[in-house]
Amino acid sequence: MPSLRFTLALTTALAAPFVLTGCTRTPASASTTSPTLAAAQRAALDSARQQLDLIPPPSKARYTAVHSLESWENPYLTVQGNMVTLHVLLADANPSDLGQGGMLRPVGARRRNLDVRLTDLPTALNAIPVGSWPYGRVIAIEEARNIPANERPIVRRNLESVIKTLNDLGVVVYEWGNTGGTQG
């Protein structure tokens, strides 16, 4: 049941800030970030970077040979207007090649899709098991498809923000275009 453990760990990690702090409403005049909040965000980013450093560096020869996201085995992100969707393929618990990808062990049963707020992305990436990173510390990223023209600038800004966060975490970004992967 590694998928249940992954889902439970990810849900717990994402819900912990709400459980510990509760829901609060800040006055409209408090729109600036306080120094303690910025320090807490930096500390969380440093912690996430240390956890992700346990994943080996990426193997460019392996991930550049992939030509479709359906074949991509590492986590990948779909950036949308107000969130990102994290797609994770959990490692196969059965080490045998017998029946792999067949009817009894379908690849789709190991795929998990999770909608994540941009601010919770480092926490969500830390919850991904090390076995789900077969290409190393690289993540594919794509813009959501079929978005209205008036939302494209928002999605592009979110994409740039996600790429900056991933770079700060030491994760190599493989930007996926309409014609396949392009190094970003």
Bridge partners (DSSP) of residue 111 are 89
Rg (CA), the chain: 18
Domain boundaries, the chain: 2-16+55-179
Within 10 angstroms of residue 95's Cβ, the number of other Cβ atoms is 7
Q: What is the per-residue pLDDT across 116-171, written as a single tens digit (0 to 9) for each?
A: 999 899 999 998 988 899 999 999 999 998 889 999 999 999 999 999 999 999 99
Q: What is the per-residue pLDDT across 85-94, written as a single tens digit (0 to 9) for each?
A: 999 988 776 6
Residue 104: is its pLDDT beyond 80?
no
Q: What is the pTM assigned to this prediction?
A: 0.68
Distance (Å, rounded) from C-alpha 72 to C-alpha 100? 16
Give φ, ψ of 26 to 5 degrees.
-95, 150
92 in Cβ contact with 73 (< 8 Å):
no
